[in-house]
Amino acid sequence: MIEIDPSAVVSLDARIHGSTRGTRIKIGAGTYIYDFVVIRAVGGNGDVEIGPGCHINPHCTLYSGNGIKMGAYVLLAPGVSVVPTNHATARRDIEIRHQGFAPSKGGVTIEDDVWIGSNAVILDGTHIGRGAVIAAGAVVAGEIPPYEVWGGTPARFIKARP
């Protein structure tokens, strides 16, 4: 099921692919989904919930996987990928694409007022605290405390916001 608040703006060039398994995709009030964004229900049973006043800039990719919960006023710069799922890889006798998905690490939670820089990758099990900043190109897995700046591959603490 896809729910888009009437005050949200979704580009005609964005692609939102619903689920055949009942995954919900919900886009909040006043949110902007720009050109060439892809939101796809795939890779698990989680929902995608995008809060009010968010900006999802061009070329971002959000897979439902084990779930994405995004708070209010989150900014995703161009090219951000939010991918809360992983392929299983334990067996050599079966191609990876036929092994299904690895167990959930808890999905992705992005609290209010977070800015994620261009081409960052947010992985399953990530929780980004309120007011945090993720630098461009970072690969994030795990817990990011509120009001901190993180960057790098893998992401590491850079500084606290004043």
Catalytic site residue from 17, 55, 59, 87: 87
The tens digit of pLDDT for each residue in 68-108 reads: 999 999 999 999 999 999 999 999 999 999 999 998 999 99
The range of the structural domain enclosing residue 128 comes to 2-160
DSSP helix/strand/coil, 29: coil
Q: What is the mean pLDDT of the chain?
A: 96
Q: How many domains does the chain have?
A: 1
> What is the CATH number for 70?
2.160.10.10
| DSSP 8-state assignment for residue 130 | T
pTM listed for this prediction: 0.95
User: Can you read off the two tokens belonging to residue 34?
Assistant: 């720009």
The C-alpha atoms of residue 42 and residue 97 are separated, in whole angstroms, by 13
Q: Check if 59 is active-site.
A: no
